[in-house]
A and B are shown apart, each in its own frame.
Chain A
Amino acid sequence: GENVEQHPSTLSVQEGDSAVIKCTYSDSASNYFPWYKQELGKGPQLIIDIRSNVGEKKDQRIAVTLNKTAKHFSLHITETQPEDSAVYFCAASGGAGGTSYGKLTFGQGTILTVHP
């Protein structure tokens, strides 16, 4: 089955700096890659996603890049703010089709802390 590795596990930045979180996946058939933000005591919130026919996607201060050949994708947050502090999860979906269609395999998470 699919395996997703996420790095780093913790990331500390100063307000205004950029933050980059990287993920690699194992199943070359995966086609959908969402990113979630989880605040303490809450459910994961979808913040951006990318599909395999696209190499990069941007939404204001957040961008995601995908390299299908190398099987890795990254989340970029620019001009970080204290309210960006949370746990971020990457995920992959698609796989070999059949019953795995739609099932998300998550990375281990990155605790992002933005210092004012």
Chain B
Amino acid sequence: NAGVMQNPRHLVRRRGQEARLRCSPMKGHSHVYWYRQLPEEGLKFMVYLQKENIIDESGMPKERFSAEFPKEGPSILRIQQVVRGDSAAYFCASSPVSGYHEQYFGPGTRLTVT
């Protein structure tokens, strides 16, 4: 059973460009979470999605960031008009059900904004 897949693993963008980060959950998992890890810091929750639904986006910046988890295909975290402060590691996690259940993390996408 393959784990959580994320791509790309490394992404370099110039200021003002768009970044698209993809996450394929573990087989059988229908709940996806995105977290951001700034250098030397812990992980911060961004958004929680189920298929075709955003359940909790309380950790998402109000502007430039959006997320989706379509019926078919991976979950996408999209950052428009990136700025240097967006440079971080972005991790996706998946779980089979919601609530008090294990979340399994992918290897992350390391975004560098130049």
List chain A positions with a Cβ less than 8 A from chain B: 6, 31-32, 34, 36, 42-46, 49, 51, 89, 93-94, 99-109
Contact = CB atoms under 8 A, between A and B. Distances in A.
Interface string B100-114: 111111111000000
Contact of A102 (B44, B95, B104): B95
Contacts, number: 74
B95 A106 contact: no
Nearest to A33: B100
B99 A108 contact: no
Contact of A49 (B4, B33, B102, B107): B102
B91 A43 contact: yes
Given A103-B45, A103-B48, A109-B42, A93 B107 contact: no
Contacts of A51: 100
A108 B41 contact: yes
9 contacts: A36-B105, A43-B106, A44-B91, A99-B55, A101-B99, A102-B31, A103-B59, A104-B33, A104-B45
Contacts of B31: 102
Contacts of A101: 98-99
A43 B109 CA distance: 9
Given A89-B43, A106-B44, A109-B42, A100 B56 contact: yes
